[in-house]
Amino acid sequence: MGTPTYIYSARAVRDSYRAIDDAFAAYPHAIHYALKANSTLAIARLLRSLGSRADANSGGEIRVAQRAGFEARDIVFTGVGKTRDELEYAIAEGVGTINAESAGELDRIAAIARAQGTVARVAVRVNPDIDPKSHPHVSTGLKTNKFGVPLQEARGIYRARRETTGLQFVGVHIHIGSQITTLEPLRRAAAALTSLALELRDDGFVLEHVDLGGGLGIAYEGRPMINPVDYAGAVIPELRRIGAPVVLEPGRAVVGYSGALVARVVDTKCFPDGRTFAVLDAGMGELIRPALYGSFHRIVPVARRAGADSAWDVVGPICESSDVFARDRMLPPLQVDDLVAILDAGAYGSVMGSNYNRHLLPAEVLVDEGKWAVIRRRQTLEDVLALES
């Protein structure tokens, strides 16, 4: 396929999905895979075949989910800044739940539903001011973040709209952040959500579910980490206080481990201070996580050369000093044309790709049962220029 190319393992997706599903076996639950992590059609279809439902964050993701075979009623529509067009589409299609981000959005949803002569199924996303202890860029549940409505205002927002025509309140929603690696923030989020749901039940609301969002981290460093069993063990005791089914929106924990970005070394050089660079044909246009969040991804040569490990700066070809995958990474000898694999790139890799410096989006390949298939062909310059005059 040439390089750079994303290679995914279907088995790894299945294993991760089932690990979450099994961990929650003792409590009624529905997994709504967060498409934002990776919505390549074949990946979305694979998740659907496993019984997953979908979490869509835009009109585009709703449409992709439908193309992949998800029914509208099996989609939760989340996300800050939903446009009128997106809401009209979601309501007309009858998506399962719209997770509203503000009182104003609820009122716009109600007006659109009335205009369509229908009723929108909604939940309100609450912002509990809980620190997920993750990277600031992926923390969403702090009062300084743009997401949701303040927890203390949520009950009033529901009550004030109890009789509003066009709205049916079916749940409550929370999502405090991503790549969460400790249990306490997750448990506290579940506790806050459950307490609110109990108050709303006292107020006479009949909630079909409580939605815990996503956020479970993965072990990018390869060291032991909290896993789905730990996660379920932390949140289920809280959820039992309400007993309503839980909706989970995991993204990274489902697909993160499944993908590797394979790239080719196009240059090597050594500076007088001893710093040694390996320049790859993939960079922040293919995988922006290291540049954007300083994220760690393991890097391995596809075929290991003999010789001692030494410290390498592994960088991309883009004209930005942030275009760095790793600094001072201990790696075996590398030479021009060697292939390296950047691991755990199945989530928030391909979906965050860009054409910066007119690089073309990479190909994607899915390996399953010893066979492989191209699930996205490499972009061509003609594809890109087709949009331009």
- For residue 180, the minimal CB distance to ligand LLP (Å) is 7
Vertex 173 angle, CA 147 and 110, to 5°: 85
Site string for ligand LLP, 2-41 (x = CB under 6 A): --------------------------------x-xx----
Per-residue contact string for residues 214-243; x = within reach of ligand LLP by CB under 6 A: xxx---------------------------
Residue 350 engages ligand LLP in binding (rule: CB under 6 A): no
Pick the catalytic residue: 319, 321, 370, 388? 319
Nearer to ligand LLP, 212 or 244 (CB): 212
Residue 321 beta carbon to ligand LLP: minimum distance, rounded to whole angstroms: 20
User: What residues between 274 and 333 interact with ligand LLP by CB under 6 A?
Assistant: 289, 293
Among 4, 228, 250, 285, binds ligand LLP (CB under 6 A): 250
Local structure of residue 132 (DSSP, 8 states): -
**Using the rule CB under 6 A, is 353 a contact of ligand LLP?**
no
Write the CA distances from 108 to 104, 176, 329, 363, integer angstroms.
6, 25, 51, 40
**Which of 89-97, 159-167, 245-253, 262-270 is the region at the interface with ligand LLP (rule: CB under 6 A)?**
245-253
Phi, psi of 310, rounded to the nearest 5 degrees: -145, 170
Convert 184-203 to b/e letters by CB count within 10 Å (16 or more is b): ebbbbbbbbbbebbbebeee
Residue 319: active-site member: yes
Residues in contact with ligand LLP, total (CB under 6 A)?
A: 23
Q: Outline where DSSP puts E strands in the chain.
A: 5-9, 29-34, 53-56, 75-77, 97-100, 120-127, 149-150, 167-174, 209-211, 246-248, 259-270, 276-280, 299-301, 310-315, 324-331, 339-342, 363-368, 371-376
Distance, CA of 159 to chain centre: 32
Active site residues: 319
**Sites of contact with ligand LLP (CB under 6 A):** 34, 36-37, 55, 78, 138, 140, 175, 178-179, 213-216, 249-253, 289, 293, 347-348
